[in-house]
Amino acid sequence: MKFRKSLIALSLTAAVLTGCNQGNVQSSAPATVSNQAVLTTYADIAHATFEDALTTAQALRVAVKQLLAAPTDANLQAAKDAWTAARVPYQQTEAYRFGNAMVDDWEGRVNAWPLDEGLIDYVATGYGTESDENPFYSANVIANTTLTLGGKTIDATVIDKKLLAETLHEVDDVEANVATGYHAIEFLLWGQDLNGTNPGAGQRPVSDLDTSNCTNGSCERRRQYLMAVTDLLIDDLQEMVNNWTANGAARQDLFGKGEQGGLATMLTGMGSLAYGELAGERTKLGLMLHDPEEEHDCFSDNTHFSHYYDAKGIKNVYLGKYTRVDGSVVKGASLADLLAAKAPAVDLEMRHKLEITEAAAQAMVNAAANGQTFDVLIGENNAQGNQLVQNFVDALADETKAVEGAIAALQLDDIELEGSDSLDNPTAVLAD
């Protein structure tokens, strides 16, 4: 996924943080822990988390096949449930994006958003028919076997993985032309979210996938698209699992940076996801604009969980511990161990801030369980909901300051964390 980016250079001359009242947060470390062991744990957790993302995507494919074999409301709901379950491990991988170029370059194939859904399928009349920025805004490949690009005709007679990945995804170099990944699948399962800031996700009828009782036309092609995009997601996830194996390219790239470079990669991922991406682009921007379209899992109204597990992934990296979908635990030497030995006050501060962030994320999850999903929380005239979201933003910003403290304590140089106009230059956002 690619966004408007503004990088902020973080000062590495900050004094070591002093202790404060941090409740029951405790720091403990082994007598010795090596930088190399910390990097190995980090890579092992990456492999396990991407492997869980793959496993749950494979379960999603089973559910999709069952849905297509027997298009019933129960099977549609089972596919939706499988999609939601697949998001749990995947979101915990996102702390690996920043600093790991191989992951960041790949990520747009599986998690790009927001998407102009008119490229894929039918949309409501209020969506409009054209966009100055996107000539494929309402191309509707499911309804059309040919498309025109730059005077050339695209043959879309068969909707397969090659068409989606090589031709349609980001067609015409427009990032909103998302044809692949989790969110394309989400749209095909849920349909447009036309509820604005009212509770409720999209409401695609199962008959949209039933050739014997077809609604909204082109049901066979819609089925082709759903199967192809699900298969493609699995291919892409398998690629990243392979990259983090013992001899995988991403693991070798990490170790090739040296110990200090590897630690810098870890902290870059933590801070950039926390600040520029999660606090800024995914949360504060929607709060500023009160725009229900600015939610990460907008068709399913699952954004509260996406944010929760993004934050969880940052905590996993710091503590060197990941709980797999089968309940087993991958753990080892961690950044927390290094800092507990070298700068215990910094470690305590980092742990404390991670817990505050998790509590703020949990508050949004709790609100969603009571009908206040993320699009409702960021809506206008919802002061209480807005404050819950702002609490999460503030917690992430404070967490990033703790990351800065860790960077300084470990004497790591030349680190830049991802920024966001939403946080760093809000007047520019509001002027757009």
User: pLDDT by residue (tens digit) across 42-100?
Assistant: 999 999 999 999 999 999 999 999 999 999 999 999 999 999 999 999 999 999 999 99
Cβ atoms of 419 and 412 closer than 8 Å: no
Cβ atoms of 140 and 119 closer than 8 Å: yes
Q: What is the pLDDT of residue 250?
A: 98
User: Radius of gyration of the chain from Cα atoms?
Assistant: 22
From CA 203, how far away is CA 189, in angstroms rounded?
Answer: 9
Q: Who wins on pLDDT, 422 or 166?
A: 166
Task: Please write the tens of the pLDDT for every residue from 241-269.
Answer: 999 999 999 999 999 999 999 999 999 99
Virtual CA dihedral for 100, 103, 106, 108, nearest 10 degrees? -90
- Residue bearing tokens 């069952």: 66
Q: What's this model's pTM, rounded to 2 decimal places?
A: 0.91
pLDDT over 70 percentage in the chain? 91
> Mean pLDDT, to the nearest integer, of 27-40?
79
Instruction: List, in order, residues 6 or more apart from 265 with CB less than 8 Å away.
Output: 99, 100, 254, 257
Cβ atoms of 79 and 100 closer than 8 Å: no
Q: Among 137-141, 148-152, 299-303, whose mean pLDDT is lowest?
A: 148-152
Phi, psi of 95 (to 5 degrees): -65, -10
Q: Is the pLDDT of residue 228 over 70?
A: yes
* 3-state SS class at 9: strand
* Identity at 62, one-letter amino acid code: V
Q: What is the pLDDT of residue 10?
A: 38
Virtual CA dihedral for 128, 181, 165, 103, nearest 10 degrees? 130
Q: Is the pLDDT of residue 215 over 50?
A: yes
Cβ atoms of 420 and 276 closer than 8 Å: yes
- Residue bearing tokens 């998302």: 178
Cβ atoms of 392 and 307 closer than 8 Å: yes
* 3-state SS class at 153: strand
Task: Please write the tens of the pLDDT for every residue from 264-305.
Answer: 999 999 999 999 999 999 999 989 988 877 888 989 999 999
